[in-house]
């Protein structure tokens, strides 16, 4: 998602895969100043990658993290744009319940729905 909450890229993962598996391919060759994510994305390798890129990690800490670090709680409040986008996606029942039988048709419908939402 961009700073305005618009979809710019997505990646289909197997249903049982953790979202962290999709982060590296999604951020590859994309320039950004900050990454807003929830606690599930509080991983050392991702924080190091963002630091190497000069991007700010706006990710709350997991409760079991040994070493505490700071994050911008005010900037994290903008993460609601991501949740709002998923709420818009749920208006399209076929996407929300994944009616499509193949990955190809599901990805095509995601592109169609993203275009419809962007045109509003």
43 by Cβ neighbours in 10 Å (0-12 / 13-18 / 19+) ranks as middle
pLDDT of residue 6: 75
Q: What is the pLDDT of residues 14-70, one digit of tens each?
A: 777 677 777 888 888 888 888 888 888 888 888 899 989 898 888 888 888 888 788
Q: What's the pLDDT score for residue 17?
A: 67
Q: What is the mean pLDDT of residues 66-93?
A: 84
What pLDDT score was predicted for residue 97? 75
The pLDDT of residue 101 = 81
Q: pTM surpassing 0.75?
A: no
């Amino acid at each position: 998602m961009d700073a305005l909450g618009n979809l710019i890229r997505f990646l289909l993962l197997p249903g049982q895969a953790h979202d962290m598996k999709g982060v590296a391919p999604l951020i590859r060759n994309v320039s950004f100043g900050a990454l807003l994510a929830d606690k599930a994305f509080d991983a050392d390798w991702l924080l190091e990658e963002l630091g190497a890129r000069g991007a700010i990690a706006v990710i709350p800490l997991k409760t079991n993290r040994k070493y505490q670090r700071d994050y911008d709680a005010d900037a994290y409040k903008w993460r609601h744009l991501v949740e709002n986008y998923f709420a818009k996606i749920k208006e399209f029942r076929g996407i929300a319940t994944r009616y499509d039988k193949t990955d190809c048709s599901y990805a095509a419908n995601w592109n169609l729905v993203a275009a419809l939402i962007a045109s509003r």
